[in-house]
Amino acid sequence: MAFSGSVEAYGGSSEAGANGGGPRSWSVSVWLGPNARKYAGAIVQDGFNLQSRGLIAGLTLDRKLARLFDDVYLGGEIQIDETSLDHADTVFAGTLGLQFENLLGYERTSFAMFTGPSYDLDPAYQVIGYKHRIGCAYRKKFLNLIAAEFASGLPFSANWDWTIRLYHRSGVFGLYSQGDDDGLAFGLGLKYHF
């Protein structure tokens, strides 16, 4: 990996290369998975038992903003997520992050991490803390969102990927709120590049 020493604006192309692995600037994803209103640390402490309180469905729009070097890009993402069953509400987020393309030399694989502010229309009333204690949530509407995504191309199309996604909202150690941890979700989805 040779560092080019400069950041260039990324125009991208909707044309995939001959091998289907050319960089595309825009993508849209849909995903679905279990949602937990449980502290992230408590999930780790419990051996990654989510104690899911419902489902979450997400819709994201990604854009490569600038090429940093080789196959690494600065990216932006707009996200809308809807939770159901235990407590139905909608979360909006606008995030920035890094997108790594062609992981370890494998064409049409990628990993991305995004972080930024999110807004919840109707935060949950309760969360699950350590030792399975149920407590009252701070119900802060503005919290930080962290998203991570692994994607790999589907064989039938140069524009479609399958994805695994992580979603987490929290107060970032007092930056947004004191000690608030609004839960964690994992999901599977599909991504379309254009």
Task: Give the tens place of pLDDT for each residue, 114-171.
Answer: 999 999 998 888 777 777 788 787 788 899 999 999 999 999 999 999 999 999 988 7
Distance separating alpha carbons of residues 2 and 105, to the nearest angstrom: 14
Question: Confidence band (pLDDT; 50, 70, 90) for 88?
Answer: confident
Which residue, 27, 121, 15, 22, is CA-closest to 77? 27
- Within a domain: 13: no
- Within a domain: 164: yes
CATH of the domain at 161: 2.40.160.20
- Within a domain: 98: yes
SS3 for 147? strand
How many independent structural domains does the chain possess?
A: 1
- Within a domain: 111: yes
- Within a domain: 59: yes
Report the predicted TM-score, pTM, of the whole model to 2 decimal places: 0.80
Distance separating alpha carbons of residues 187 and 194, to the nearest angstrom: 22
Buried residues in 87-120 as b, exposed as e (16+ CB within 10 A) = beeebebebebebbbeeeeeebbbebbbbbebeb
pLDDT in tens, 35-85: 887 777 777 777 777 776 689 999 999 999 999 998 999 999 999 999 886
Distance separating alpha carbons of residues 15 and 12, to the nearest angstrom: 9
State the amino acid at position 181 in one-letter form: D
Could you tell me how many residues make up the chain? 194
State the amino acid at position 184 in one-letter form: L
Domain that holds residue 189: 25-193
Q: Which two tokens stand for residue 29?
A: 């994803």
**Beta strands 72-83 and 126-128: pairing type?**
unpaired
- Within a domain: 101: yes
- Within a domain: 97: yes
